[in-house]
Structure 1
Amino acid sequence: MEPNNLKRVFRIGGVVIVLVVALFIQPFTYENIDAGNVGIKINLYGSDRGVDNITIVTGRVWYNTWTTKIVEFPTYTQNVDYEPFVITTKDAAEFQVDPKLNYHVNANLVPQIYRQYRKPLGEIEQQFMRNTIYDAYRIVANSFTSDSVMSNRERFEDKIQMLLTKNLAKDGFVYDQLTSAITPPASLRRMIDEKNASIQARLKAENEAKQAIAEAQVSKAKAEGEAAALLIKARAESEANKLRQQSLTPLLVQTRMIEKWNGQLPTYGTVPQLFKDITKE
């Protein structure tokens, strides 16, 4: 190969190598910020280095990786299942709480969140937000007795939600929902079970007493009805007998006696019986 051609090949090869190296080490790239996320631009150099006060909208964002950093925060609802912890009530009873928090990030305050914590959202959830939840339970529990926590569960959780809403909102987090499984101490659980069993037994006894009273009233009404029926029947028979006796005249008695006579001469004792038979008719 001629020297001029050889130089040309080396020159072209050098240019290609330089272009390839430049392509790999060049600082410009882009970030796709998906819907439901917010990206913030962080300047690494210069007088205005730090978190910009401008929230990057969703879409493709070009930036210089040597001088700029893009951090992405999700703004859709997050669900965090925390490890259980123990809180103490005013009367020193220990309750176990297993909280689950639903929240989302206030998109307008994303720069403030990063400026304050300088950590990914996952770390913020397990540190700041967990401590906020624990403090809310601890503060509210100190104003309740163990018995009132169980008997006023709705008011207890309402106070916690109000406190969480206030404290999370200050740092750019919007409270959505809190689900908490509260487990009382074993001794209180036994007391509650015994109390419930006592209430159930009392209600059962009251129902049985009401049923016995109702059955007695039915029996009484039935007996009174039967007695009234017998009385009416007796009165009717008495009235009928009176009417029969009033309708018997001497002539009618004689006629009846003749009809009843069997042809034998009456003896002592048969006449009264014959008269009695006549009066029954």
Structure 2
Amino acid sequence: MTAVDFTAFVERLADLASATILPFFRTSLGSKDKNVGGMFDPVTEADHAAEAALRRVIQDTFPNHGIIGEEFGSIRADADYVWVLDPIDGTKSFIAGLPTWGVLIGLLHRGRPTYGVMVQPFTRERFIGDGESAIWRGFGPDHKWTERKLSARICDDLGQATIITTSPLLFQPEKLEAFRRVEARARLSRYGGDCYAFAMLAAGHADCVVESGLQMYDIAALIPIIEGAGGIVTTWDGGSATGGGDIVACGGAGLHGQVLDLLRGD
């Protein structure tokens, strides 16, 4: 497949996900709890329908590719090319009617994230990256469809930084203590966002995102977007973020180093 064909295919996946999910948003859609007995972890008919639709198209088009998805597990996860899908990242926001959720579609090549898209069907935004560059597509102030390059903001002083986490409730006690050390030094701390928080970092509106307990499907698609915008994303110990875990993303290396030191308690 040529680069043009590949781009067109990913756009097709994004269109399909949007068309499948959007009719469910802000309706009386119910949800089930995947984590009975623990913290509420909802899944909806929209999650299942979107991932099933994406998987069908990928398997029909690339039968030798692997797929890792939140709702239906993995097939051929050791293939050279593996698609990583999160049909609705931010399901809690979705069922609450809040627009801070998105569809994550990522592609690994030999285990490395090489392409990622975050689609927000309600706001009709797309954040796209290949690790070398990243772009945003959406409606501009003139209400016309537009495209612009994403560029993360450089902030080398945590005291001037805006940081985001989805919710302090998602941290284990010792990890919450580590996050609070970072939060105490920051100029502004905001909660909520899920994948949208990472997109705002890539767009230059936030300086740092700190999360804990992410899965591969929560982060793989976002890595090429963040890095393509000039940002940095790793685990709390500075390792690869591809497999998920405790994740920190920053707009620049100076801030990233400060945050890592505080998370480690240095």
Same fold (TM over 0.5): no
Which has the bigger relative contact order, CA under 8 A and spacing at least 6?
2
**TM-score normalized by the length of structure 1:** 0.19
**TM-score normalized by the length of structure 2:** 0.19
* Larger helix fraction of residues: 1
* Larger strand fraction of residues: 2
